[in-house]
Amino acid sequence: MKKFGFLVSIILMTLAVGAFGENAQAEETTNKPITMAYYRTWRDVTMPHDANSNLPDNNVIAMTDLPDGLDIVSLFHYVKPGTNESKFWQTVKDVYVPTLHQRGTKVIKTVDISEIYNVPSVGSMPSQVEYDLYAQALIDKHLTPYNLDGLDIDMESYLSAAQEEKATNMFKYLNQKLKQDESKLLIYDTNKDNHTLFTKIANYVDYLFIQAYGRSPQSLDKTWSTYKNVIPSTKFVPGITFPEEQDQNRWYDAYEPFATSNAYLYAKWQPKDGPKGGMFIYAVDRDGKKYGDDSITKTDFSWTNRIIDNVKN
């Protein structure tokens, strides 16, 4: 009996070690840093050149041109009223999403916080049924027709108490619906330090994207310190921007030499409390452009590829 008990103990220990290894591997995979890019839809080759511009140049970039190493691409969408966007959305459905999915890249869509809190309701505050119906309506509108992988909520506003309450409830209902499929994403992006809305919805989101454009890398420590008590470091994802055409901002995030740029320094920066969740890029189609260059041209994505390499290695 003692020998039998010893053998049982060995078997159980082996199984436990194996299970621990599998769990550790799963956790390691989950916590690998991601790279993400905002894709400005009005600059896609299938869009009219004047969809959101008064420049004469034709659009030349397609989503399939993006580097394979990106984990997530978000459709950052705005066009002038009356723009014919049907060719773009058909291409998203038939070509772009299937191709990026084959690469292992998820495709999501960015929506403004106002679309989240503007919940249709009979009374002054929505009922649970109205929240539930609106959450499904947003998914049916933005994700389902194109087989997209989640929503990115852009929060740069100051909300009233009522708007904040509605937004909080909507994050809850969106999380419940999206997480019926564990691969779906719900992301919060902002240019703010921690604030009351985020503290209420932190548990509902997969990542926090911080628009840290033009900041010093040291400022990321301060911003992270405001969030570290509500999310793990692996959800914290700072981002830079490339120079947009006709933009008067001068963020200088992607300014040569690469080794002294915010693009590189953010890629290498880590919170003191653990590894960051990754890094994102806004206006990825403007990779390699200099401030004041308003021409619309193709890119070899050399900055994006270097950022990917430095985030992941």
State the average pLDDT over residues 81-99.
98
Q: Is the pLDDT of residue 171 over 70?
A: yes
Q: What letters, b where the CB count within 10 A reaches 16 and e where it falls short, cover 32-53? A: ebbbbbbbbbbbbbbbbbebbb
Looking at residues 223-241, what average pLDDT do you find?
98
Mean pLDDT across 293-302 = 98
pLDDT tens digits, 175-206: 999 999 999 999 999 999 999 999 999 999 99
**Residue corresponding to tokens 């998914």:** 139
**Chain centroid offset of residue 163 CA:** 23
- Quote the Cα angle for 185-188-189, to 5°: 125
Is the pLDDT assigned to residue 266 strictly greater than 60? yes
* 185 DSSP β-pair partners: 150
- Give Cα 92 to chain centroid, integer Å: 18
- Report the pLDDT averaged over residues 289-310: 98
The pLDDT assigned to 166 comes to: 98
Look at residue 31 in the predicted model and tell me its pLDDT: 77
Helix axes 128-142, 161-178, angle to 10 degrees: 60
| pLDDT value, residue 218 | 93
| Choice among 22, 156, 165, 244 that is catalytic | 156
Quote the tokens at residue 87: 């060719």
Q: What is the pLDDT of residue 182?
A: 95
Query: Considering the chain, what percentage of its residues have pLDDT values greater than 70?
Result: 90
Quick one: average pLDDT of 221-227? Answer: 98
Does 256 participate in catalysis according to the annotation?
no
CATH number of 31-312: 3.20.20.80
CB 253 within 8 A of CB 288: no
Instruction: Report the percent of the chain where pLDDT is more than 90.
Output: 90
pLDDT tens digit string along 12-60?
Answer: 444 444 444 444 333 433 579 999 999 999 999 999 999 999 999 999 9
Structure tokens at 88: 């773009």
The two structure tokens encoding residue 85: 């966007």
The partner residues of 139 in beta bridges, in order of sequence, read none
Task: Give CA angle at 64 (60, 70), nearest 5°.
Answer: 120
The DSSP code sequence of 165-211 is HHHHHHHHHHHHHHTTSTT-EEEEEESSSS-HHHHHHGGG-SEEEEE
Q: Is 268 left (phi over 0), alpha (psi -120 to 50) or beta?
A: alpha
**Helices (H), ranges, 59-112:** 86-91, 97-103
| Average pLDDT score, the chain | 92
Q: Which two tokens stand for residue 81?
A: 């009223």
pLDDT above 50: residue 88: yes
Residue 4 has pLDDT above 60, yes or no: no
Predicted pLDDT of residue 30 = 56
